[in-house]
Amino acid sequence: MNSTSQVNASEAARAAATANSRDAFVRIENVVKKFGDSTAVNNVSLNIAKNELFALLGSSGCGKSTLLRMLAGLETATSGKIFVDGEDLATLPPYRRP
């Protein structure tokens, strides 16, 4: 692959990622959660489409439950954003989240 092809492939991948993030029902952007000096979730980004079957897999202690607790509003992200249906969840209390 020559350098022109690599640039075009990179642009296509970037465009696809942008389109996917616009279409995502759940959008998690660069989320970090720290407890003191311990990092439970480190720079997680993902998009989940509406009606998509999604599994969150990982070893014990890797941050799965912490990520879900942030989505539910039971924990606050140290940094990053979580959106559901285009709405920033940081502004919604747990009882008002979809």
Q: Give me the residue spans of the domains in the chain.
A: 3-96
Selection from 12-16, 23-27, 51-55, 65-69 with the highest mean pLDDT: 65-69
pLDDT of 91 reads 87
Give the integer Cα–Cα distance in Å for 62 and 73.
19
Report the pLDDT averaged over residues 35-43: 96
Q: Which residues contact 90 (CB under 8 A, 6 or more apart)?
A: 76, 77, 81, 82
Q: What is the CATH number of domain 3-96?
A: 3.40.50.300
Assessment of whether the complete model's pTM goes beyond 0.85: no
